[in-house]
Chain A
Amino acid sequence: MKAIKLVAILFAALSLTAAAGDLPALSHGLTAHAAKKPAPPLKLKGIDGQVHDIAALRGKVILVNFWATWCPPCRREMPSMEHLARKLRGENFAVLAVDVGENVDTIETFISQLELDLTFPILLDTSSKAMQAWKVSGLPTTFVIDRKGHIAYSAIGGREFDHPEIEQKLRDLLKN
């Protein structure tokens, strides 16, 4: 009985979803940025051992997502990001998921629990310096970068990234 309770506590500790009661709904709004501000640099090692540089993706629409495994809305929105990536496969579109402050083992444990394989790279911001450079003050925070390297949209809090409204916004950016 004690072992069952311990497992339950550990599960809750990893996700804290049980603490969220009836979970806050994920939204699908994106905040438009009219100012055409250039995206900050982003060059980090991924869990695949490769270095990923956002500069090498110029010309693509890029979704940059700052997240961590302990963050409940981050965990909830991750499958929708993968669905979006699959919907836009073959287009000039890329996803970069930047994990903040965690190690490869922790991230891979989380990924292995997902029902689908992630096809986009996961970058390691172990010191949270990239997060600070992008002026992120909470997780998850997401940016959409247009083909010219400007921040086109942002979103604070969990989103349903495969929602038709978000997909349409990205398809519109891909046309420009």
Chain B
Amino acid sequence: MLVLSIWITTAYATQYSHDPGTGLETWQVEADGIQVRLTQIGSEQAQAFYQARGFSVDNAKYYASSCVFMTVVRNIGDATIEHRLSDWRYVPDGGRPRSIRSKREWGKIWIQRKVPESARIAFTWAQFPNTQSFSPSDWNQGMTTYQLPPGARFNLIFKWREDGKLRRGEIDNVRCTDESH
């Protein structure tokens, strides 16, 4: 049973849910034809996922030391939408907007850290795509990472294009998990 409540934001209502079974928290916003959802992934869970795909313990721990979220984007409107992750920003409490670390940046790190190619392929497809076009009813999910300490809070500014127009939404008061799960 999920506990649902509504967080007030300036533009859109952020829906919040907490799963008592896993302890994981979810934030979701629906805005002008797009639904964006972030669900916490615990560090032990992220670590085990990548170890099961060929990452060494050290490299899996390195990834899991980031604040990791399962990210879902769904087209809930009638027009095709497109996102570019490089347009998105996260704003830590009292901090400046930051870019989300891209798959390309992670890829460079994994090459330096000598992660095997098969593991890097699995990693690439497990991350949320850098850019993707969604027809009505299309959706996708993948991991996004935020270079923040456990328990830190941030707002996520997400942007997407519809009919050539750039649109903007925001998920407020998202919290990095401080539990390993």
Contacts and interface: CB of A to CB of B under 8 A. Distances in A.
Interface stretch (A8-16, A56-64, A90-98): A8-16
B132 A138 contact: yes
Most buried by B among A16, A29, A72: A16
Nearest to B76: A27
B45 A9 contact: yes
Interface of A: 9-10, 12-14, 16, 18-22, 24, 27-29, 31, 68, 70-73, 100-102, 126-128, 137-139, 154-158
B179 interface: no
15 contacts: A19-B39, A19-B45, A20-B141, A21-B19, A21-B22, A21-B25, A22-B19, A24-B37, A29-B137, A31-B137, A139-B125, A154-B135, A156-B134, A157-B138, A158-B139
Query: Interface residues of B: mostly helix, strand, loop or mixed?
Result: mixed
Contact of A24 (B24, B48, B131, B139): B139
Interface string B44-65: 1101110111000000000000
Contacts of A72: 141
B40 interface: yes
Contacts of A9: 44-45, 48, 181
A132 to B, nearest CB: 11
A12 B64 CA distance: 14
B122 interface: yes
B89 interface: no
Given A10-B48, A31-B135, A157-B139, A22 B17 contact: yes
Q: What interface size band does chain B fall in?
A: 35 or more
A157 B135 contact: no
Given A24-B139, A157-B140, A16 B121 contact: no
Interface string B125-169: 110110110111111111000000000000000000000000000
B111 interface: no
B9 interface: no
B99 interface: no
Contact of B53 (A31, A70, A155, A158): A70
Contact of A70 (B17, B42, B49, B181): B49
Given A24-B141, A138-B142, 5 more contacts: A12-B181, A13-B49, A21-B17, A101-B121, A139-B125
Interface in B8-31: 17, 19, 22, 24-26
